[in-house]
């Protein structure tokens, strides 16, 4: 991952891509939490790159009812400049696409265009939610990002079918952070360590279905709830102890 300055961008910008070799592993939630964690260090943006979800899920229409919601994607496609702090919530600029009831906003069609979009978003950090991204485009995005997080669900029924894709990602991007989401007491850690071939991974606790539903119905982020704070805390640390030998994953970005 060796990024060059994009036209109109800055070398001070740090682009973090969050992806997964499997579906429904929690990429969007992880990317959103990571953006909130980074926003405590410096200004940050969260960029949705797939199907619209965050706007409806967390009630962004309600949060920006008075201040107004800016469609960063449409503004970018129209060649207009971003004015400054917009869609600011939890210290994060939310570059998400309007919900399904709104007119669909245009979306960058190539990795180069997406990275130009990411460069121009406000803040030092832009976290890209790469869930559902086609593999060849994802490779181009990861090549041009500063840091990558690879999120996996430890459920064997999800891990095993994704084995080849996971191996390709880890081999191509050895400096990426492997994040195991939904960690719970039912996970056999010794078998998981053996399957992954490492004890160096970031552990993200299982939020639980109830907390996810509760957050969306209340139009808040899951880590606004007492039961969800551990998830954000895991990403706010500079390292996470994992495995029986106490190895530490460093992921300063």
Q: What is the pLDDT of residues 102-116, one digit of tens each?
A: 666 677 789 999 999
Contact between 215 and 231 under an 8 Å Cβ cutoff? The reply is no
Residues in the chain: 253
β pairing state of 88-89 and 92-95: antiparallel
Give the integer Cα–Cα distance in Å for 58 and 35: 15
Q: What crossing angle do the helices spanning 229-236 and 27-38 adopt, rounded to 10°?
A: 60
Q: Is the pLDDT of residue 99 over 90?
A: no
Give pLDDT, residue 117.
95
Give pLDDT, residue 50.
83
Q: Is the pLDDT of residue 171 over 70?
A: yes
Instruction: Match 């939310």 to its residue by tokens.
Output: 94
For range 183-205, the mean pLDDT: 95
Give pLDDT, residue 2.
57
Instruction: Choose among 150, 121, 136: nearest CA to 14.
Output: 121
Contact between 183 and 193 under an 8 Å Cβ cutoff? The reply is no
Give pLDDT, residue 1.
66
Contact between 154 and 192 under an 8 Å Cβ cutoff? The reply is yes
Give pLDDT, residue 83.
80
Instruction: Match 């910008």 to its residue by tokens.
Output: 13
For range 140-146, the mean pLDDT: 96
Say whether pTM exceeds 0.85. Answer: yes
Q: For domain 14-183, say whether CATH 3.40.50.300 is its number.
A: yes
- Return the higher-pLDDT residue of 35 and 241: 35
For residue 59, give the 3-state DSSP assignment. coil
């Amino acid at each position: 991952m060796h990024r060059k300055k994009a036209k109109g961008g800055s070398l001070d910008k740090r682009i973090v891509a969050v992806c997964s070799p499997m579906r429904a592993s929690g990429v969007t939630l992880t990317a959103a939490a990571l953006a909130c964690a980074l926003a405590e260090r410096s200004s940050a943006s969260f960029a949705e790159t797939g199907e619209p979800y965050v706007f409806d899920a967390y009630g962004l229409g309600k949060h920006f009812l008075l201040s107004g919601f800016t469609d960063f994607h449409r503004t970018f496609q129209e060649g207009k400049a971003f004015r400054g702090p917009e869609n600011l919530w939890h210290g994060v600029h939310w570059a998400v696409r309007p919900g399904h009831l709104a007119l669909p906003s245009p979306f960058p069609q190539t990795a180069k265009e997406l990275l130009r979009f990411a460069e121009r978003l406000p803040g030092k950090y832009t976290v890209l939610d790469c869930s559902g991204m086609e593999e060849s485009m994802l490779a181009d995005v990861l090549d041009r990002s500063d840091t990558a997080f690879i999120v996996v669900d430890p459920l064997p029924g999800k891990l095993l079918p994704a084995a080849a894709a996971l191996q390709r990602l880890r081999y191509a991007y050895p400096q990426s952070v492997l994040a195991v989401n939904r960690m719970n007491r039912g996970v056999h850690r010794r078998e998981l360590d053996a399957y992954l071939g490492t004890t160096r991974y970031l552990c993200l606790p299982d939020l639980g279905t109830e907390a996810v539903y509760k957050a969306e119905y209340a139009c808040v982020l899951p880590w606004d709830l007492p039961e969800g704070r551990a998830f954000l805390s895991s990403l706010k640390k500079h390292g996470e102890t994992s495995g029986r030998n106490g190895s530490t994953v460093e992921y300063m970005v």
